[in-house]
Amino acid sequence: MTAAPVLLAVLAAFFWLFRTKFKDRFLRAFGLFFLILLVYSSNKEYYGISTSLSESTFSPMSLLRWGLMFFLIWQATRLDKPKGFRNDILLSTSAILLLGLMLVSCLYAEDPFYSLMSSVSFSLFVMALMMGLVYYLYSSVNCLQFFKFHYYTAWIVLAPFIVLLFSGIGYGVTILMGQYAGFFGNQNMIGAFSAMITPYVLFHWRVVAETKRDKWLDAALLFTIFLGLWLSRSRNGALCFLIVIVTYFFIVSMQSRLAIMTVGVLVITGFLVFPPLKTDLMSFIRKGTDKSASVTDLSSQFAEERRYEMWSGVWPKFWKQKLTGYGFAQSHLLVYEFTEDKEVGRSLHNSYLEMFGDLGLPGFLLLALLLFRVGFKSLSILTLPVEPLERHITAVFISGFVAGSVNAFFESWMFSAGNLLTLMYWGSFTGIVARMAWQPGQAPSTARTPAMQAEMQYPAIRAQN
């Protein structure tokens, strides 16, 4: 039995949003591309989408995804460069060199066509972000609309499925090997998505929500996200969820930093005083091997992991080709001989190691330069004297970027233009770049017009959201 009506209800909710809540053409184009990637990340067969409709290069859904990407690029080209916007030369040069290296690597790839298609699609994806989204997010008013879209997405995609599960209906809810996946096709996806969507919910809770009712609703949504993570037993997702919360509140105020340290001390004390809590946590971390005789502690748990089995197997091969790599989107082909689980072996489960295997040291170093440049600039942004709203906006992007960077160490989605997590992660990255381009202490006065400043008042923000 398929659950196609559930997917139709999700799609209807998004189309209602596009018609009633979001009038901006670029945001609608972004939302449509986001939506097709969301459908791809769902349990497609359960919702009535066969593999023939989605898996091949020229399948109907694949062609639709390409079409929506080109539509997003077209809308991006219609955006004018904002006054006062300053390009980061080092960042732009590094990105161009990395994309060029991806394209050149197709010449020596084992599967040149697949490598070429992957590099072209990612290059187009980057074009849409750097020619459109970075200009769009330069305006803090646009950031509010961008955040609102993700906030509504959390309500549509996460909350209803928890309700269906606990109501006993269960229709449309994915359960895999006893682990909750909700709308998504696997537990890792719901874990990473939940973590990456959390900054937008935190922003709404702390900035937009005004009444006690609204604040309690947002708190309930945050609890729903945590509950879904616990039921999914997604260790990576749970870790990134905590990273998002800590990073967000660490950025927004000194009082939050003190609260974080206090809570941390209380949590550690709780585990020491109540051993059952420690037992439950260890069982969560060591899922699947907590009864294995060979696993006695976390160090032996790490050696037992299938990811480690693959990483240690492919490393000598990757090091052998350290100057060139095997070609973009090709290194995962070397994984199969090092794991008995062919489903797990479809990817390397480490975006950084995958980049090293694809493009060698040159590609890895260019990626490291990009990430460290943005990370360093993020720290400099935090030192600027800004109004609280701007600090909250910055906190959303930085917390998403940090959590995504950690998640990418355990998953291989960072350079897949057809993956929803890729869009969410590089969207946060682009938001930081937009914050870098406008720094209140240095930017010209034209960066914010009086009309825009008036719209930034909290009552207006709450009205927009």
Q: What is the pLDDT at residue 359?
A: 95
Beta bridge partners of 180: 175
369-425 pLDDT, tens digit per residue, is 999 999 998 988 888 878 889 999 999 999 999 999 999 998 989 999 999 999 999
Query: What is the band of 70 on the pLDDT scale with cuts at 50, 70, 90?
Result: very high
- Separation between Cα atoms, residue 311 and residue 337, nearest integer Å: 12
- Which is it for the CA torsion 221, 155, 179, 305, positive or negative? negative
- What DSSP character marks residue 288? T
Nearest to 130 by CA among 98, 84, 95, 94: 95
116-170 pLDDT, tens digit per residue, is 999 999 999 999 999 999 999 999 999 999 999 999 999 999 999 999 999 988 8
- Separation between Cα atoms, residue 121 and residue 69, nearest integer Å: 9
What is the 3-class SS of 402-460, one letter each residue?
HHHHHHCCCCCCCCCCCCHHHHHHHHHHHHHHHHHHCCCCCCCHHHCCHHHHHHCCHHH
Do 347 and 332 contact (CB within 8 A), yes or no? yes
Q: What is the pLDDT at residue 337?
A: 76
- Which is it for the CA torsion 118, 308, 182, 427, positive or negative? negative
- Separation between Cα atoms, residue 328 and residue 354, nearest integer Å: 9
Q: What is the pLDDT at residue 302?
A: 46
Q: What is the pLDDT at residue 383?
A: 81
Do 347 and 314 contact (CB within 8 A), yes or no? no
Residues 6 or more apart in contact with residue 239 via CB below 8 angstroms: 406
Under DSSP, is residue 305 helix (H, G, I), strand (E, B) or coil? coil
Task: Provide the phi-psi class of 329: left if phi over 0, else alpha when psi is between -120 and 50, else beta.
Answer: left
- What DSSP character marks residue 286? T
Helix, strand, coil share (%) of the chain residues, nearest 5? 70, 0, 25
- Separation between Cα atoms, residue 266 and residue 261, nearest integer Å: 9
Cβ neighbours of 87 (radius 10 Å) = 13
Residue labelled with tokens 């290069």: 57
Residues 6 or more apart in contact with residue 46 via CB below 8 angstroms: 2, 3, 172, 174
Under DSSP, is residue 255 helix (H, G, I), strand (E, B) or coil? helix
Lowest model confidence (mean pLDDT) among 68-72, 156-160, 461-465: 461-465
Do 47 and 2 contact (CB within 8 A), yes or no? yes
- Separation between Cα atoms, residue 331 and residue 347, nearest integer Å: 9
Max mean pLDDT range (18-27, 167-176, 272-281, 304-313)? 18-27
Nearest to 199 by CA among 232, 246, 145, 238: 246
Do 306 and 341 contact (CB within 8 A), yes or no? yes
Average per-residue pLDDT for the chain:
84
Q: What is the pLDDT at residue 256?
A: 61
Do 158 and 182 contact (CB within 8 A), yes or no? yes
Do 33 and 423 contact (CB within 8 A), yes or no? yes
Q: Which contacts of 271-280 are long-range, i.e. CB under 8 A and separated by 24 or more positions?
A: none
Nearest to 9 by CA among 230, 207, 171, 144: 171
pTM of the model: 0.87
Instruction: Report the amino acid identity of residue 377.
Output: K
- Separation between Cα atoms, residue 35 and residue 297, nearest integer Å: 42
Alpha-carbon Rg of the chain, whole angstroms? 22
Q: What is the pLDDT at residue 270?
A: 56
12-28 pLDDT, tens digit per residue, is 999 999 999 998 999 99
- Separation between Cα atoms, residue 400 and residue 286, nearest integer Å: 26
CA angle, residues 401, 407, 413, in degrees to nearest 5: 95
- Separation between Cα atoms, residue 257 and residue 246, nearest integer Å: 8
Check pLDDT > 90 for residue 234: no
- Token pair recorded at residue 379: 């720290």
First to last CA, the chain: 38
What are the start-end ranges of the H helices in 253-305?
254-273, 275-285, 298-304
- Separation between Cα atoms, residue 122 and residue 362, nearest integer Å: 18
- Token pair recorded at residue 324: 């060139």
Do 153 and 44 contact (CB within 8 A), yes or no? no
- Separation between Cα atoms, residue 59 and residue 65, nearest integer Å: 10
Lowest model confidence (mean pLDDT) among 342-346, 390-394, 430-434: 342-346
Residues 6 or more apart in contact with residue 7 via CB below 8 angstroms: 39, 42, 47, 48, 49, 172
Between 282 and 182, name the one with better pLDDT: 182
